[in-house]
Structure 1
Amino acid sequence: MTQYVGYIAMSLDGYIATPDGGVAWLDPFNEAMGADGNDGGYGAFISEVDALITGRETHQQVLGWGWPYEDRASYVLTHQADYSADHVTAAGDIETLRKAIEKAGHKKVWVMGGGAAQRAALDAGLFDTLRVFVMPTILGGGRKLFTDGPQHNLSFASSQTHGGGVIQIDYLIKD
């Protein structure tokens, strides 16, 4: 059975990116977490992931940085029926992606962003767990962790503190 997981950082006021989609604001926190020899569990996390779901904008942004996810399958959530780019296994709406992921037999899929992709996966009942890193900053605006939609209840699993005042909160999805 496929496990769908979230692993994402946000500001204290709930933003994952600046209004233009920038994430450079995370750099000082990543450096602070790394200074104590802790990568926030990212190394262990990514080693278990065999596929990704991204939104189209996130996919394009990551391509611009240079694809860091090796040969992991990449599923792009988009309304563009003919979307194609490097590192795209399949593209389409959330149900199209779910079917393709299940057909491929993936074990652990990271729903990696942005807010519309997070919301689509949540509303479709995909998430099993959600790990949120709360960064001690207030951006004051930008792109939210989840776009607007219906309420979903979560079950607290654990929390942990990291260097630089970063707090990790793990949730199980109850819906």
Structure 2
Amino acid sequence: MGTIDVHEFISLDGVVEDPSWTAEYGFTEAMGAAIGKLCDQAILLGRTTYEAFHPAWSERGDDVESGGAFFNGSPKHVVTSTLDDPLEWANATVLGGYDPTRIQELKDSVDGGIYVSGSVRLVRALLADGLVDTLNLFVYPVALGSGLRLFADGQQVPLRLLETEPFDNGVVRMTYGPPV
């Protein structure tokens, strides 16, 4: 059985929207290595993130260092009720609208990790249904004051801290798993 491993860039006040605000902090080699460990067998994305990732990653070809080899070569499963197969991005298929049973079947069908990035509405649903194995928050030392937050108002998600890793640029990776 596989795992679902979520990666999010997040501000101190929980904002995950349009991570262009992260650029001023740079991206360290250690951050790349930490994210690289999550990139295992498959990718699971919501429609909005798929539509942002497709043009950004497909242009990188099969370059290993940039991550293009993983993003372009891996099977990509898109949770959407508005797009139809065939999708333009190589190895991408429509999983259909959000259905926790279908996602559990996907998880059961792989031996490695399923990488999720962005896809806030999808991640909220996965967390609510107990389908996330690791939630990797790359916390930036800034409060943005407004923007889409990872957790919706009133959403309670019990988690257990598994690991922390500080980076030279002030970012801290906090990895959470389900409560014991």
Deviation, 1:132, is 0.7
Looking at structure 1, the residues matched to 75 and 101 of structure 2 have their Cα atoms a distance apart, in angstroms, of 15
What are the Cα deviations for residues 37-72 of structure 1, in whole angstroms up to 9, with x where unaligned?
4225122332xx211111101100111213330211
Pair 1:127–1:74, CA change in 2 (3 A):
same
Query: Would you say the 8 A contact 1:16–1:114 is kept in 2?
Result: no
Looking at structure 1, the residues matched to 116 and 155 of structure 2 have their Cα atoms a distance apart, in angstroms, of 19
What is the aligned partner in structure 1 of residue 5 from structure 2?
A: 5
Structure 2: any 5+ residue segments left out of the alignment? 59-67
Letter in 1 for 2:79: L
Two-structure CA RMSD over aligned residues (Å) = 2.3
Q: 1 or 2, which has the higher strand percentage?
A: 1
Query: Would you say the 8 A contact 1:12–1:138 is kept in 2?
Result: yes
Query: Would you say the 8 A contact 2:45–2:116 is kept in 1?
Result: yes
Deviation, 1:169, is 0.9
Query: Would you say the 8 A contact 2:38–2:115 is kept in 1?
Result: no
What is the aligned partner in structure 1 of residue 95 from structure 2?
A: 91
> Is 1:24 aligned to 2:26, yes or no?
no
Pair 1:168–1:7, CA change in 2 (3 A):
same
Deviation, 1:106, is 4.8
Looking at structure 2, the residues matched to 121 and 23 of structure 1 have their Cα atoms a distance apart, in angstroms, of 21
Looking at structure 2, the residues matched to 107 and 135 of structure 1 have their Cα atoms a distance apart, in angstroms, of 28
What TM-score, normalized by structure 2, do the two folds share?
0.79
Give runs of aligned pairs for residues 15-54 of structure 1, distance below 5 A.
15-17=15-17, 22-29=18-25, 31=26, 33-34=27-28, 37-40=29-32, 41-46=34-39, 49-54=40-45
What is the aligned partner in structure 1 of residue 55 from structure 2?
A: 64
Query: Would you say the 8 A contact 1:77–1:91 is kept in 2?
Result: yes
Deviation, 1:103, is 6.6
Deviation, 1:149, is 5.9
Query: Would you say the 8 A contact 2:159–2:176 is kept in 1?
Result: yes
Pair 1:70–1:27, CA change in 2 (3 A):
same
Structure 1: any 5+ residue segments left out of the alignment? none
